Amino acid sequence: MTTSKSLKCLRVPRRTLTALNVNCLVAIRYRKAANKGFANAQFNLGVMHHKGEGVLQDSVEAEAWYRKAATQSHAEAQFHLAVMHHHGPSVCCACTTRSTQTYL
What is the pTM assigned to this prediction? 0.71
pLDDT tops 70 at residue 72: yes
Domain spans in the chain, listed from the N-terminal domain onward: 19-103
Average pLDDT of the residues in 61-75: 95
Average pLDDT of the residues in 71-78: 95
Q: Which long-range contacts (CB under 8 A, 24 or more apart) does 82-91 make?
A: 84/50, 84/59, 89/59, 89/60, 89/62, 89/63, 90/59
Average pLDDT for the chain = 77
- 86 pLDDT band, cuts 50/70/90, is confident
* pLDDT recorded at residue 1: 36
